[in-house]
Structure 1
């Protein structure tokens, strides 16, 4: 216990705990939405597409996260537009942008003179390097997510489970889809520093899938997903510290084990 109190005296560890909590809040809410829509791979597509923006930004000398944010938002809007207006299946759009973004990123990393360790670090993340500005952005996205749910929950619920009925009912389905896609994109970009490009998909999927085992109500699912994500992320962070392991991979491993345990509990309970 004393060692944990001593750890909290270090600003980098406090920042890591706050980042884990805020990221879990965002991933729990948005992850539940994309799981409810049965479209979990949109987060993977946006994440990997953002690598192209990182590569270009790094090559031009700009902050990589600026390029990642631009590419992520354009990819999210592009997926929604191509599946609704261009007649391309959504899974095909995701696959195309996924591979295109990675290809562009790899090409520009290759073209950048010298070694690029910082860019490579984005593939796996490092929650211990989170700065105050990152926490502010995570807090802003968290507040936006909560505010949208508070004021537009019925519309979000209708779009998530039955977008055709919502469209017939006169709800702004396309607007909600575009706004949610952009929000997913921004949440993913902010989560990359914590989990890395490779592991972000799992962060947005595993807690929501675990919560979905016990609840079909979207609001309850989001709450349970946030709880599972916070417990798994904080536990994984502490385990990573004590065993000197990569934080992102340890958090995902912990969340996966938690999912397995909850799955067994459900089998025995029902």
Structure 2
């Protein structure tokens, strides 16, 4: 089999084309948002929101409503509950996040266990990229377009909020509204990634691309280019590997992202472990002898 055959063979199937399109779109929107999440330090918040949407998805299935509606409602609910616990008690933010997301995630698992269904609801947890329908793809495209449009229009305000919220407040920006806006976008993005990799692996797509780009550049504008490009390439590579190796596509995509991060972590020109060690040796060798 030639290289061209390897590339074209999966595209003969409509479900693979839909899977590829969904994976790339989800990878791009997650990667763009991940740049802000990494800078602000909201990795744990991304984990919380992505897991907390599970009961909403199951309830939406029970009621016959679109999965996205249930996921969005419970994503916003999780954010509200975390804020309420944090502001009305002595509990710190990390503990509040842990309490809320584990409780809601467990509720989702309980609902799955007691819900009679002709559909395997475990696909919500682990992803069902190969089962994405045309309607699911349209939903992903619409939500992704909304998230990316807001991020592009408000990118300067969000960036200032990420780097220096005190200065943002001093010049008249509503920092609480900006924070709430990013959390709302996080909830919407979790819905998009849910279609690709499931609840369990959403956090990887929300964090790894931004972290990878962060090690490659110290300019935020470049991060916003590097992260989605790298994430989209990982999604494509993951889909093709899963097809030819007969592995789970969502998990394979995340493994490829993790492998890329490992390479960057080790070999990045300035921030890589090996580059830092080499620079440290040179510095010691160039130090004057007393």
TM-score scaled by length of structure 1:
0.90
Give unpaired runs (5+ residues) of structure 2. Answer: 277-290
Is 1:72–2:75 an aligned residue pair?
A: yes
Whether the 8 Å CA contact 2:27–2:231 is kept in 1: the answer is yes
CA RMSD of the aligned region, Å? 2.2
Partner of 1:44: 47
Q: How does 1:194-209 map to 2 (within 5 A)?
A: 194-209=196-211
Report the Cα distance in structure 1 between the residues aligned to 2:92 and 2:267, rounded to whole angstroms: 37
The CA deviation at 1:132 is 2.3
Report the Cα distance in structure 2 between the residues aligned to 1:36 and 1:116, rounded to whole angstroms: 42
Q: Secondary structure of the residue that 2:120 maps to in structure 1?
A: helix
Change (3 A) 1:10 1:116: closer
Q: How does 1:250-261 map to 2 (within 5 A)?
A: 250-261=252-263
Is 1:140–2:113 an aligned residue pair?
A: no
Whether the 8 Å CA contact 2:212–2:264 is kept in 1: the answer is yes
Larger radius of gyration: 2
Whether the 8 Å CA contact 2:27–2:235 is kept in 1: the answer is yes
Deviates more, 1:209-218 or 1:6-15: 6-15
Give unpaired runs (5+ residues) of structure 1. Answer: none
Q: How does 1:101-116 map to 2 (within 5 A)?
A: 101-112=104-115, 114=116
Change (3 A) 1:149 1:57: closer
Partner of 2:226: 224
Corresponding residue to 1:123 among 125, 132, 135:
125
Q: How does 1:1-270 map to 2 (within 5 A)?
A: 1-80=4-83, 82-83=85-86, 88-112=91-115, 114=116, 118-266=120-268, 267=272, 268-270=274-276
Whether the 8 Å CA contact 2:10–2:243 is kept in 1: the answer is no
Report the Cα distance in structure 1 between the residues aligned to 2:184 and 2:78, rounded to whole angstroms: 9
The CA deviation at 1:34 is 0.6
